[in-house]
Amino acid sequence: MKIETYIRQPYPFYYEELKKVFFILCYISIVSFLFTYLFKPFIVNVAEHKINSLWIVVLHSVIPVPIAFVYAYFLKKSVKKIENWTLGKEFLHLAIILFLIGLASFLIRDFIYTNPDNWSFRYFWEEIRNTFLVGSLLLIIILPLNLERLIYKHSTVLKRIPINQQNLKEVDTVAQIQTPIVEENFELHIQTFLFAKVDGNYLEIFHTTSNGFEKHLKRLTLKEFDKQLSSFPFILKVHRSYIVNLKAITSISGNAQGYALNLKEYNQGTVPVSRSKIQDFNRFYSNISK
Query: 140-165: per-residue pLDDT in tens?
Result: 999 999 999 999 999 998 888 865 55
For range 3-32, the mean pLDDT: 93
* 215, amino acid identity: K
When pLDDT is cut at 50, 70 and 90, the band that residue 167 belongs to is very low
| Dist. CA 50–CA 45, nearest whole Å | 11
DSSP 211: T
* pLDDT of amino acid 172: 67
Mean of pLDDT over the chain:
91
- The model's pTM is 0.86
C-beta of residue 241 within 8 angstroms of C-beta of residue 81? yes
What is the separation, in whole angstroms, between the first and last Cα of the chain? 41
Distances in Å between the alpha carbon of 12 and those of 16, 17, 97? 10, 12, 18
Alpha carbon 97 to chain centroid, angstroms: 17
What SS3 class is residue 50? coil
Distances (CA, A) of 59 to 14, 37, 62, 125, 272: 26, 12, 5, 19, 41
What 3-state DSSP class applies to 209? strand
As a whole number of angstroms, the distance between CA 244 and CA 261 comes to 9
Query: Is the pLDDT assigned to residue 280 strictly greater than 70?
Result: yes
pLDDT in tens, 191-210: 999 999 999 889 999 999 98
Distance CA 251, CA 259 (A): 10
Backbone angles phi, psi at 126, to 5 degrees: -65, -45
The answer to whether the beta carbons of residues 160 and 242 sit under 8 Å apart is no
Asked if residue 109 has pLDDT above 50, the reply is: yes
Q: Which residues 6+ apart lie within 8 Å of 155 measured at CB?
A: 253, 254
Instruction: Tell me the DSSP string of 54-118.
Output: HHHHHHHHHTHHHHHHHHHHHHHHH---GGG-BHHHHHHHHHHHHHHHHHHHHHTHHHHB--TTT
Sequence-distant (6+) residues with CB within 8 A of 83 are 10, 239, 241, 242, 257, 272, 274
DSSP β-bridge partners for residue 205: 196, 216
For position 209, what pLDDT does the model report?
A: 92
> Mean pLDDT, to the nearest integer, of 216-229?
95
How far, in Å, CA of 219 to CA of 151, rounded?
36
Q: Which residues of 200-218 are buried (b: 16+ CB within 10 A; e: fewer)?
A: eeebbbbbbeeeebebeeb
Instruction: Give SS3 for 282.
Output: helix
> What is the predicted pLDDT for the residue at 71?
98
Handedness of CA 169, 275, 80, 240 (dihedral sign): positive
Contact 277, 238 (CB under 8 A): yes
